[in-house]
Amino acid sequence: MRILRCGHAPVTWSRAGVILLAYLLGAPAHADTVGYVLTPMLDAGRLRVELTWDTQGRTQSALTASAQWGTVADVPALIRDLRFTGVAQVKPNKTRWLLEHTRGATLTCRYEVDPGRRDLTWEAMHYPIANRSFFHGIGNTFLLIPQAGGGLPEEYDITLRWQLPEGWTAVCSWGPGPHVGARLAPLDLRHSVYLAGKLVTHTQQSDGHSITVAMLDRFGFDAQEFARLAGTIVAHECRFMEEKDFPPFVVTAVPVGEPVKTGDTRVAGMGLHHSFALFAAPKSTLTDAFENLFAHELFHYWNGGVLRAQQPLKLVYWFVEGLTDYYAWRILYEAGYWQPTEYAKWINRQLREYARNPAAHARNDEIDARFYQERDTIGAVAYQRGLLLALRWHRLARDRGVSDGIDKLFKTLVQRGRRPGFELSNEGIRRAGLELLGDWFGSEFDKYVMQAETVEVPTNALAPGLVGRLTPTYDYELGFDKDKSLRELRVRGLVSGSEAAKAALREADELVGWKIRGEADEKVELQVLRGGKTRTIRYYPRGQRRDVLQFEPAEPARRKDP
């Protein structure tokens, strides 16, 4: 541990960061006031942060920040020129600073954030970016925040002021405008989005809920259109959950990467404190991919928000993520927003992915240990298992006389989650299931959640609206190395015997155009240049055949909300 003593002179480090450690400071908790000033430094591509902390009746305080978050593997490496004033002694320990000061002192912390880049990319979308067009950051990647608990307040009175170029506006998760304030828990402050630039904004009132959209004007949709979509989904989910106290909600959208072709979409996003942060390719349009993503992240307000999971969180990701997919899609369908064909498409995709997932039998402890390292297999099975179990258990519960099926379990757990100190755990889910659904739930839980056996979904799981039957399906196999080929504009890694090879594609063919989807039943179309002539090659990217349960509508298509 490095200790610096300096009276009221600045204390400086070139790099800093934080892991929150339990530390009992011994002083009573009070609601301190903490003010932030954020100044984008456009020429330098940095952000200047100034924090002023009015402490209450203590002689010790502590600041923390994330060690890593999302695609930012090393948050401390982004922080430069960290300085404190009003502090008698600073005791840094990895990513936590213990500050010793006179009783009730006002502390100041200044630093700069240098992401080492000027643009958002899909490979590094979570970096705090400052450029000539905008500043965008998630608090986890650039904010130092007060510690909560251990003698410090659980909540703080927070103010935020932006210093912006002329013509810029700003928004954050807890309010639009260049000067906002709220009482927040420190983790909510960190788990917020911060956006500034020449923004287009629109506030939508929907079923008594307020939704504000703030975005850069580079998409194939406008802020009003996006706000209308968001407001509709908020209203549907709040009705289903019988939510009376849903807070004002902020949605941000920033461009990432190169523009997409008309009708195409590339999109990612995350649910944050009273907000949703969207990343999308320029010119993207609002498709069911947007609807799926927003509905999923919004439902985390209840599943993962009101109903918080016990650490380690990933032991119950099958519930937090898988049931969130289940309810997000089901609500869109039952509200009449999604047609049966759209609902079936998303359910069927997960059934196919689960059938070919080599990690389908991964246990919860393996998911916890390797979720991010093997995101496409072990990470994906948490979503798949939870969704399939919700489909199965909803039908089994109703067949056994529980009229509201698995909703009885889920909504009861959410109600319990509103009580102080309640945390979701596998043991708690099992106990609640036995209590609310019946004795049959115990063996089901042990078999599928704890022993990770293959989940079997009943063919009548979605009756009467959709019917299920075993259907021949194919694994997706493009037949060549997509990333390398598109990077070099030549076919690389052609797989012998693949459908691509059978369609007469050749190794080292020069690529001059392509249309590549992600489904085995959607044709790939490639334009290749040979001998000065362009040829078009089409084929289905099909690999191994499997018979998988798939659903199809049993009723005419319904129209979406106007």
Cα–Cα distance measured from residue 381 to residue 363, given in angstroms and rounded to the nearest whole number: 10
| 358 cis-preceded (ω within 30 degrees of 0) | no
| Whether the domain at 313-459 and the domain at 478-540 fall into the same CATH topology | no
Domain ranges within the chain, ordered by starting residue = 4-184, 200-297, 313-459, 478-540
What pLDDT was estimated at residue 517? Answer: 83
Please state, in angstroms and as integers, the Cα–Cα distance from residue 151 to each residue in 18, 90, 146, 211, 381, following that order: 19, 18, 12, 36, 40
In this structure, CATH architecture of domain 4-184: Sandwich (2.60)
DSSP-derived pairing of the beta strands 134-138 and 79-85: unpaired
What pLDDT was estimated at residue 556? Answer: 61
Cα–Cα distance measured from residue 550 to residue 539, given in angstroms and rounded to the nearest whole number: 23
What pLDDT was estimated at residue 258? Answer: 87
Amino acid at 396: L
Taking alpha carbons only, the member of 307, 277, 305 closest to residue 293 is 277
For residue 430, with 0-12 CB atoms within 10 Å meaning exposed, 13-18 middle and 19 or more buried, which class applies?
middle
Bridge partners, residue 37, by sequence: 50, 161
Judge contact between 160 and 179, C-beta under 8 A. yes
Instruction: Count the Cβ atoms, other than its own, within 10 Å of residue 375.
Output: 10
Strands lying side by side in the sheet with 169-172:
129-130, 134-138, 193-197, 169-172, 175-176
What pLDDT was estimated at residue 207? Answer: 84
* Residues in the chain, overall count: 562
What are 331's two structure tokens? 């609500």
Packing angle between helix 322-334 and helix 288-299, nearest 10 degrees?
A: 120
The hierarchical CATH code for the domain 313-459 is 1.10.390
Class of 478-540 per CATH?
Answer: mainly beta
Buried b (16+ CB within 10 A) or exposed e, 136-167: bbbbbbbbbbbbbebbbbebbebebbbebeee
For residue 63, with 0-12 CB atoms within 10 Å meaning exposed, 13-18 middle and 19 or more buried, which class applies?
buried
- For 97-100, the CB contacts below 8 A with 24+ separation are 97/16, 97/18, 97/62, 97/63, 97/64, 97/144, 98/23, 98/60, 98/61, 98/62, 99/60, 99/61, 99/62, 99/63, 100/59, 100/60
What are 136's two structure tokens? 């965008």
Instruction: Count the Cβ atoms, other than its own, within 10 Å of residue 478.
Output: 20
Judge contact between 273 and 188, C-beta under 8 A. yes
What pLDDT was estimated at residue 521? Answer: 87
Q: What residues contact residue 513 under an 8 Å CB cut-off, 6+ apart?
A: 526, 527, 534
Cα–Cα distance measured from residue 175 to residue 192, given in angstroms and rounded to the nearest whole number: 11
What pLDDT was estimated at residue 493? Answer: 96
What pLDDT was estimated at residue 29? Answer: 44
DSSP-derived pairing of the beta strands 249-255 and 11-13: unpaired
Taking alpha carbons only, the member of 157, 153, 184, 292 closest to residue 247 is 184
pLDDT of the chain, 562 residues: tens digit per residue:
222 223 333 333 333 333 223 333 443 445 799 999 999 999 999 999 999 999 998 999 999 999 999 899 999 999 999 999 999 999 998 899 999 999 999 999 999 999 999 999 999 999 999 999 999 999 999 999 999 988 899 999 999 999 999 999 999 999 899 999 999 999 999 999 999 999 999 998 888 889 999 999 889 899 999 999 999 999 999 999 999 999 999 999 999 988 877 666 789 999 999 999 999 999 999 999 999 999 999 999 999 999 999 999 999 999 999 999 999 999 999 999 999 999 999 999 999 999 999 999 999 999 999 998 899 999 999 999 999 999 999 999 999 999 999 999 999 999 999 999 999 999 999 999 999 999 999 999 999 999 999 999 999 999 999 999 999 999 999 999 998 999 999 999 999 999 999 999 999 999 999 999 888 889 999 999 998 999 999 999 999 999 999 999 997 655 455 4
